[in-house]
Structure 1
Amino acid sequence: MTINRLFFAYLDESQLITILLPYSYYDGHSSSFHLADGNGNTPLEIQEKIHLDAFLKYVCYSPFQPKIGQSYSIIDQYGGKTDLQIGAVIRTSEFDESFYYDGSDLGVTVIDNRTMFKVWAPTASQVKLVVYDRQYENPKYYPMMREEKGVWRIELGENLDSYPYSFLACINQEWREAVDPYARAVTVNGQYGVVVHLEQTKVSKPQLPEFVHPCDAIIYETHIRDLSAHPASGVNRKGTYLGAAEIGTTSPSGRVTGLSYIKDLGVTHIEFLPFHDFEGVDERYPDKDYNWGYNPVHFNVPEGSYASNPEDPYRRIIELKELIATVHAQGLRVIMDAVYNHVYVRENSPFEKLVPGYYFRHGQDGLPSNGTGVGNDFASEKLMARKFILDSIRYWLTEYQVDGFRFDLMGILDIQTMLEVKRVAQEIDPSVILIGEGWDLNTPIEAGKKATIGNQAMLPCIGQFNDWFRDSIKGSTFNLFDRGYALGNERYTEAAKQVLAGSVGIDNRKVGLFSEPRQSVNYVECHDNHTLWDKLVACEVDFPERKHRLATSLVLLAQGIPFIHSGQEFFRTKNGVGNSYKSPDEINWLDWERRDQFIGNVDYIKGLIAIRKSHRAFRLPDTVSIRKHVSYLSLPAPLLGYCLLEVQEYGKWKDIYVLINPTVEQENFLLPEEGEWKILANHLYTSAIPFAEIQGKSVDIEPYSLMIIVR
């Protein structure tokens, strides 16, 4: 609906009204304005006039506070009239506190044969529920009743199972149709919400292995479609939830693939790239396009392109739950990649349609901010925006039984929201793991309130992706040709010492990047940017396989939380594509034939995982323990040797030495003393059970390799 307005008026504070008169309308001049509510006209006090390029701006004071959700008109000296629109008042703390609703029943509630709908739309003057038939036709309109805190409600005495629905809200005299932000099911491609009975989708959660501390986690990141799409995956239902849940699948060589392969590696957690509903793939033709999933649309609904039948709103729910249950049955936990920092298109978002101007941050110029780089920043500090995130976290934990969250662009979110996330999540599951990208992005909240690495001291129980580790070990992510410590760059030697010790600060460095090792998510590769193998190829390095193996080994041996990108263990390549978010399957899939080709490296990494799990000294729980037990040998750079001394309280071995040679030459390391030293790892083999002993007072370490010795 288009409204022709002679001039414009906005409620910008509770009693402050901004009026814009175009110069083409009486040269922009009016000596008086009145506020009309249908019962009479109230004169406004003109406090200020400001000349703009196309308008004369009047800042006016109202003697009473206009009621949000009620219609008003502004009348000028000539009798011209316009409607009073909701303006910047929506971004005031007064509005936020006045309309905060703490109920747990937004969205749809089904009780017996009655269905209740609730939606938060405080600036709407009218709201209607629209219910379609199951062919998405013949809409029926039901006026909703306004209740306290800007919540609109209606209860229908009928069973609406599988019926599509939406909301129609009249805001600033315009009707907008929106999908329910709290929708738990949608029609194909998310056009409408759908009423579902979730009790029909229940899946029980099996008993999982004990998980005591975040540093016990070994995270394996993968994409539901990538996991099974390759022709050699042995998976029947490729690219789907059900395909990712197939077990016992094998490549043509007979080696296990897919979920069974991940279990066999020995990791503890699978982190799936986003599986909430996203844009970028037509759910009816999922093979036509590809997307990582960072285009969020409906946050509480599983993505339909992974479902066997996206037309059936139940299938995506049931099949995702079956996938998670199957992962649990393998003794593994599931981390959900959560993208609460932005939406795909702000203008089309249910948030913006139902409460325009509220859910997204705006700069001083009044325009939406863009710290995310995708056109909008979710205003997590707003009370109802924060509530939505918390309600969503609670929903995924209880309904889908996920075991953790990875927060995309967490630095956009505010600290208070993340602390509330931690509280809510740990009340439900004390073993939940929370990690995120704490990059400092240009979004208009105070620097001290952002959930960034720089503010890690205020986020003590949340892991942060450690870019210091990443860039020190492999080289800068944003300079393809920069080589890190594992690639032979001596200038990263001191940094390597620090990051291998959990980035908490040891030796002369008393203050680290993090307060505790549980905050450091150590990685050299993830879905973003070039794979490590492609970086090595671009740098035209010698010994690429050894350098790659060394870098990945350091991820697994460092204090903190190790994070491995799927396929990293067999030198995953994306053929040089640095941002494959919508590249075809042939670029993104896990190449199981390549896995077979490099099975020796897979076995090496598998052995390192077993070593890490076999002794808690490789995953010390706190900074005090790291500073007590970790010390470095005095060696010429770039050689490194560190000791884990007197660690028998954490496992079988009393003393552990890790010796690292990132050079092109074989190097001889003197042992601190003679003794019955046994080898757990060298340049060829890794095992939690010693496979050789050292004779003599020294040991040779091959180029670009490491050795782990114990006694």
Structure 2
Amino acid sequence: MRDWKFNHIDFSTYPDYTGSDLGVFWTPEKTSVKIWAPTAKIVEFRLYKDGESGEAFYKTQLLANGDGTWSTVLTGDYEGKFYTLRINDGEWLDETPDIYARCVGVNGLRGMVFSPEKTNPDGWENDSQPKLTHFTNAVIYETHVRDFSVSESSGIQNKAKFLGMTEEGARSPEGLFTGLSHLKELGITHVHLLPVNDFFTVDEEKPSEKYNWGYDPLHYNSLEGSYATDPYNGAVRIKEFKKLVQALHSAEIGVVLDVVYNHTYFAKESVFNQSVPGYFYRQKPDGSFANASGCGNELATERFMVRKYIVDSLKYWAEEFHVDGFRFDLMGVCDLETMRAIRNELPGLLLYGEGWTADSSPMAEEFRAVKKNISKLPGIAAFNDDFRDALKGDHGSKKSKGFVSGLDLHEEAVKFGVAAAVHHPQIVYDYVESSHVAWAGQPAQCINYVACHDNYTLWDKLKLSCPKSSDEEMRKMVKLAGALLLTSQGIPFLHSGMEFCRTKGGHHNSYKSPDSVNQIDWSRKKEYYDVFEYFQKLIQLRKQHPAFRMTDTSRIQENLSFCTEYKIGTVSYCLNGDEVGDFWKNIVVLFNGSRKEVSHSLPDGKFRIMVNGDEFFEESQGEVVSKEVVLTPVSMTILVKTEG
């Protein structure tokens, strides 16, 4: 019986390999195979005609090559054939694909030999990635491939598939745009997709029988087959995902992939442990698997070959699929050096993650990519959960409230988010309960959000904390939350459907709930069309005015000031637009979270109202006021100083 405890092993003695040729690579004349397995004594390579059944028609042994690698070359054309490896390190391990498998058959049981060039859709060589001159120009929209199109109300033909996100012109039963056309209409810049790599818990042969978000990785470099029209041919899923990327890029929308390099679904049975037992995982002092992921294991990102694997994997997705960024699930499990290596190897890509873990780790916090260490990771951002909870209340408590739901005397936490979690001399950090110090070094290191796939949707959280609120009051709260997100410094992040009051019926952890819970009900767009239009205008406002997306901390410190008197239940500030290239030279932004009208004083001079509640005015239309302005309940007001 194998001992799955590893406190007797010094993994630092294992040889490192720096080559870029690990995996299975096809040409018409030959297929090359190379793996890293330093503890192996025998490595057997098997070829199959089928991706899940039948006996191997060919077996051969790999030869040891030094630095822990084993390889072979198969002469002939093996395109479309399936393969596995089996390793003996003193006893036989399980039969699996290699850890670098880039193409797999149904349910990831076997790897597939394929031609990458044949997976390119027409025009792929001309695919053009949207240009992002600065990360703070991004407006991110998080969604799940299946949620996005599975509802009958989507009007999309390829429901729950990669191809569903490529269809233009789809409409809801009420005649409004859904899917890709909706994204273009809304104006977001990037789509963040929940995991699309091969995960375990959905049976690809019966994809409608189970649901999962996909945070249960099986193969990191292969795509999920349940999202493909043919789960048996791994090349099909690759081509269809490239079509998804191509369609979004054609719409000037970037693609961010949610990646889960903190744990694997299996521990002992994983492809890693069936290749090099123990090496890819952190251990507790007793040698058992550590569990900072809360899922039974955590990857040892600090080890050379684990770090190399993650960097190689990310570069593959960026180069082969033209993706524009990555979101790191439980990034706080990863070590700082690995995240710096990722940043160095992927210049220009949008990188952000969760700056926390789900449980304790044997690696000291000072060495990990947690939120408090984000300033040590230039060019990498973390989610601002301080702002999230300040706006809607504690994410895990049904009844807790935040600024938009009427909580007073916690305005400093809202200001913390307005300033993108960078240090601002006018914020009293002792009053920010969740973070007593600024943690972002630059505004592009802060992802401001109020809802995501985790926990309650914004609508559901507000409904639970304000059960007596009318539908009209609920709309106002959602709009105010959106206004705060989309006018604050940093990078705004929207949960799909938030713009038309998405609900999951009060479910707070829907990772395996059915489509009836998770699907986007596109008919709500008609019902809450005023909310959609408000978000649409907010995004356009942000794009037009660089004052809301400053690129440097010093600019925020110098040109954003909390310049008006403090009033309970309100947050207000001034922007010096002239200094940051905005044609609005002096801007006053006021948020009223209270349930009553508030007369609020203004700086000296005359100001034209540009936004008042739901109304966005043209440059010469808004009312001109001085000394004070009346703020309607639960609303944003923006004024611009007039000349003279």
User: TM-score, structure 1 length as denominator?
Assistant: 0.85
Farther off after superposition, 487-496 or 207-216: 207-216
* 1:685 Cα offset (Å): 2.2
Please tell me whether the aligned partners of residues 5 and 288 of structure 2 are also in contact (alpha carbons under 8 angstroms): no
Q: What secondary structure sits across from 1:305 in the alignment?
A: helix
Matched, 1:92 2:11: yes
Q: What is the match of residue 588 of structure 2?
A: 657
- Spell out, residue by residue over 1:610-653, the C-alpha distance to the aligned partner (whole angstroms, 9 max, x if none): 11110111001011000101111122222221000253542211
Q: What is the match of residue 434 of structure 2?
A: none
Q: Which residues in structure 2 correspond to 1:383-394 (within 5 Å)?
A: 383-394=304-315
Matched, 1:436 2:353: yes
Please tell me whether the aligned partners of residues 205 and 401 of structure 1 are also in contact (alpha carbons under 8 angstroms): no
Question: Where do 5+ consecutive residues of structure 2 fail to align?
Answer: 430-436
* 1:406 Cα offset (Å): 0.2
Q: What is the match of residue 683 of structure 1?
A: 613
Please tell me whether the aligned partners of residues 679 and 690 of structure 1 are also in contact (alpha carbons under 8 angstroms): no
* 1:479 Cα offset (Å): 1.9
Match of 1:641 among 565, 572, 576: 572
Q: What is the match of residue 342 of structure 2?
A: 421
Q: What is the match of residue 129 of structure 1?
A: 45
1: distance between equivalents of 2:21 and 2:95? 21
* 1:687 Cα offset (Å): 6.0
Match of 2:421 among 500, 503, 507: 503
Residues 689 and 576 of structure 1: CA distance in aligned 2, closer, same or farther (over 3 Å):
farther
Please tell me whether the aligned partners of residues 525 and 531 of structure 1 are also in contact (alpha carbons under 8 angstroms): yes
1: distance between equivalents of 2:401 and 2:237? 43
Please tell me whether the aligned partners of residues 8 and 287 of structure 2 are also in contact (alpha carbons under 8 angstroms): no
Q: What is the match of residue 598 of structure 1?
A: 528
Q: What is the match of residue 525 of structure 1?
A: 451
Farther off after superposition, 470-479 or 356-365: 470-479
Which amino acid is the alignment partner of residue 372 of structure 2?
G
Matched, 1:272 2:189: no
Q: What is the match of residue 36 of structure 2?
A: 120
Q: What secondary structure sits across from 2:208 in the alignment?
A: coil
Q: Which residues in structure 2 correspond to 1:229-628 (within 5 Å)?
A: 229-426=150-347, 430=348, 432-440=349-357, 441-509=359-427, 512-539=438-465, 540=467, 542=469, 543-628=473-558
User: TM-score, structure 2 length as denominator?
Assistant: 0.94
* 1:477 Cα offset (Å): 0.8
* 1:315 Cα offset (Å): 0.8
Please tell me whether the aligned partners of residues 608 and 687 of structure 1 are also in contact (alpha carbons under 8 angstroms): no
Which amino acid is the alignment partner of residue 375 of structure 1?
G
Please tell me whether the aligned partners of residues 474 and 485 of structure 1 are also in contact (alpha carbons under 8 angstroms): yes
Please tell me whether the aligned partners of residues 608 and 686 of structure 1 are also in contact (alpha carbons under 8 angstroms): no
2: distance between equivalents of 1:508 and 1:310? 56
Please tell me whether the aligned partners of residues 422 and 553 of structure 2 are also in contact (alpha carbons under 8 angstroms): yes
Q: What is the match of residue 603 of structure 2?
A: 672
Sequence identity of aligned pairs in percent? Answer: 39
2: distance between equivalents of 1:588 and 1:370? 28
* 1:530 Cα offset (Å): 0.6
Please tell me whether the aligned partners of residues 204 and 325 of structure 1 are also in contact (alpha carbons under 8 angstroms): no
Residues 173 and 639 of structure 1: CA distance in aligned 2, closer, same or farther (over 3 Å):
closer
**Quick one: higher RCO (CA 8 Å, sep 6+), 1 or 2?**
2
Which amino acid is the alignment partner of residue 323 of structure 1?
L
Q: What is the match of residue 7 of structure 1?
A: none
Residues 467 and 91 of structure 1: CA distance in aligned 2, closer, same or farther (over 3 Å):
farther
Q: What is the match of residue 433 of structure 2?
A: none
* 1:587 Cα offset (Å): 0.6
- Spell out, residue by residue over 1:297-336, the C-alpha distance to the aligned partner (whole angstroms, 9 max, x if none): 0111110001011112211000000000000000010000
Equivalenced residue count is 622
Which amino acid is the alignment partner of residue 549 of structure 1?
K
Farther off after superposition, 515-524 or 475-484: 475-484
Q: What secondary structure sits across from 1:350 in the alignment?
A: coil
* 1:454 Cα offset (Å): 1.3
2: distance between equivalents of 1:94 and 1:175? 22
2: distance between equivalents of 1:395 and 1:343? 19
* 1:680 Cα offset (Å): 2.8
Cα root mean square deviation, aligned: 1.8
1: distance between equivalents of 2:535 and 2:620? 16
Farther off after superposition, 696-705 or 214-223: 696-705
Farther off after superposition, 190-199 or 110-119: 110-119
Which amino acid is the alignment partner of residue 556 of structure 2?
I
Q: What secondary structure sits across from 2:480 in the alignment?
A: helix
* 1:199 Cα offset (Å): 1.2
2: distance between equivalents of 1:248 and 1:691? 34
Q: What is the match of residue 111 of structure 2?
A: 193
* 1:701 Cα offset (Å): 1.1
2: distance between equivalents of 1:450 and 1:551? 31
Which amino acid is the alignment partner of residue 185 of structure 2?
D
1: distance between equivalents of 2:71 and 2:384? 46
* 1:656 Cα offset (Å): 0.9
Question: Where do 5+ consecutive residues of structure 1 fail to align?
Answer: 4-9, 11-84
Q: What secondary structure sits across from 2:154 in the alignment?
A: coil
Q: What is the match of residue 694 of structure 1?
A: 624
- Spell out, residue by residue over 1:10-31, the C-alpha distance to the aligned partner (whole angstroms, 9 max, x if none): 9xxxxxxxxxxxxxxxxxxxxx
Please tell me whether the aligned partners of residues 146 and 161 of structure 2 are also in contact (alpha carbons under 8 angstroms): yes
1: distance between equivalents of 2:505 and 2:45? 50
Please tell me whether the aligned partners of residues 375 and 439 of structure 2 are also in contact (alpha carbons under 8 angstroms): no
- Spell out, residue by residue over 1:42-62, the C-alpha distance to the aligned partner (whole angstroms, 9 max, x if none): xxxxxxxxxxxxxxxxxxxxx
Q: Which residues in structure 2 correspond to 1:105-116 (within 5 Å)?
A: 105-116=21-32
* 1:86 Cα offset (Å): 10
2: distance between equivalents of 1:564 and 1:284? 32
Farther off after superposition, 130-139 or 85-94: 85-94
